[in-house]
Amino acid sequence: MYDAVEERLRDLLAPLRADPRHGAVMCDIDGTLAPIVPTPDRAKVPKRALEALAHVAERYVLVACITGRPAAQARRLVPIERVAISGNHGLEILSGNEVTVVPQAARYQAAVHEALLVAENDGLLPELGCRVEDKGITFSVHYRGSPRPDHAFRYLEAQLVPKLERAGLAWSFGRMVLEVRPPVAVDKGSAVRRLRGRKRIDQLLYVGDDRTDIDAFREATVKIAVRSPEAPPELIAQADATVEGTDEVVELLESL
């Protein structure tokens, strides 16, 4: 069952598998555990992936999902208590059922909300097939459903991005999405550091599919990228190895 994964990754994963008490497994959700779908509300982590993740969480000292989704949404997608959750690209911490925004980002909530209203009131975005998603401390403009994604991208770059910059907010393009966030030095890499805390972790595996996962790669000893037609070249370049799609991510988890 695991031949495809084992053939490419056996040597990379051997130290992690040999000492799970000092090993961590972390991954993104959308495009990594859950297949990409036309709209975020339709996403679902397959049962097989959840079962594999639950077994991994019983074996390794730390297992976590670090996602661009709000933390509460992420917990609904991954309802496994032993799997830690960090949402909004590291800006949110989930503890029990309580979501906390990191202090350095909280003071930008008003500015993010004002920029969200600008995007929501842009009458051309719906015509271009764009969808604005309010995620609390961040927001996203999705153009996956656009009949002309190249045109939608150029419009966002030329019309919305300058407004975000004047408002002093950070932004980045991902897989058919523009992500808008507070201008603070918090990302998936700092989320990894916060989650591991003072635990003695000698091997840390991170699996991701998009540009923001590169930040988490900085903190990992084993970096796995999920290949797709939309995968950023720089993600693939910085990975130690790749897997083909979410099905092979599940195989990877099962092999652990």
- Start and end residues for every CATH 3.30.70 domain found in the chain: 105-181
What is the structure's pLDDT at 9?
86
Q: What is the dihedral of CA 4, 8, 11, 12, to 10 degrees?
A: -110
- Start and end residues for every CATH 3.40.50.1000 domain found in the chain: 3-102+186-255
- Range of lowest pLDDT (4-13, 87-96, 151-160, 239-248): 4-13
What is the structure's pLDDT at 248?
94
- 16's tokens: 């992690």
CATH of domain 105-181: 3.30.70
Comparing C-alpha atoms, which of 19, 67, 42, 14 is closest to residue 188?
A: 67
pLDDT digits (tens, 9 = 90+) for 174-217: 999 999 999 999 999 999 999 999 999 999 999 999 999 999 99
Comparing C-alpha atoms, which of 186, 185, 179 is closest to residue 164?
A: 179
- 234's tokens: 């720089």
Residue 1 pLDDT greater than 60, yes or no: no
Answer CATH for 3-102+186-255 from 3.40.50.1000, 3.30.1330.10, 2.60.120.10, 3.40.50.920: 3.40.50.1000
- 215's tokens: 């930040």
- 128's tokens: 């271009």
**Of all residues in the chain, what percent carry a pLDDT higher than 90?**
92
